[in-house]
Amino acid sequence: MPRHESIPSEIEKLREDIRRHDYAYYVLNEPVLSDTQYDGLLRRLQEIESTHPDLITPDSPTQRVSGSPLASFEQLRHKVPMLSLDNSYSEEEIQQWLDRITKILDTKNIVFVLNPKIDGLSLSLHYKKGDLFQAATRGDGQIGENVTLNARTIRSI
């Protein structure tokens, strides 16, 4: 079978593999792959989708934040989508990322805060008059878990 006829099946296999690894990582807390191996799967999917944009689907792992809120926590909707970090290896990839963010947020007036990437939990913290009012995990980027009581036990928060 010619290479181009196998592209849709390769895309589907990559998507299934990534979803399976997302479940193992985010739900079971039992990662099967190293970050480098996982990034390799995601990067291959991104490469194929960039050359075949007609095959991109809204549920593709390249089009969403991995993870979903746990049922054991109250769910909170983020006021502004809490997007995930993307790995970028060139200026062109950084520009593509910025273009996607601009499109998702539907504005060009975006302020960024850049910090070194430290693996761990991402939180959205809201304060009222200097006091922590609400803390939520990223979840799926639209809805996260309410972890306010947990966050209040962290002195630096």
> 């947990």: which residue's tokens?
150
pTM value is 0.49
Mean per-residue pLDDT for 21-37?
A: 86
| Cα distance between residue 33 and residue 154, in whole Å | 30
pLDDT at 85 > cutoff 80: no
> DSSP assignment of 48-83, as one string?
HHHH-GGG--TTSGGGS-S----TTS-EEE-SS--P
Mean per-residue pLDDT for 98-118?
A: 81
Cβ-defined contacts of 88-94 (< 8 Å, 24+): none
Mean pLDDT of the chain: 84
* Host domain of residue 4: 1-64
Instruction: Give the total number of structural domains in the chain.
Output: 1
Residue 144 lies in a domain: no
Residue 143 lies in a domain: no
Residue 7 lies in a domain: yes
Residue 115 lies in a domain: no
Active site members: 117
pLDDT at 20 > cutoff 90: yes
**3 state SS of 41:** helix
Closest C-alpha to 156, from 134, 132, 133 = 132
Residue 139 lies in a domain: no
CATH number assigned to the domain comprising residue 58: 1.10.287.610
Strands (E), the chain: 75-77, 123-128, 131-137, 143-145
Residue 50 lies in a domain: yes
pLDDT at 3 > cutoff 60: no
What's the token pair of residue 108?
A: 């060009």
What's the token pair of residue 129?
A: 């008059």
Residue 92 lies in a domain: no
Q: Are residues 99 and 157 in contact, defined by beta-carbon separation less than 8 angstroms?
A: no
Residue 82 lies in a domain: no
> 């922590």: which residue's tokens?
132
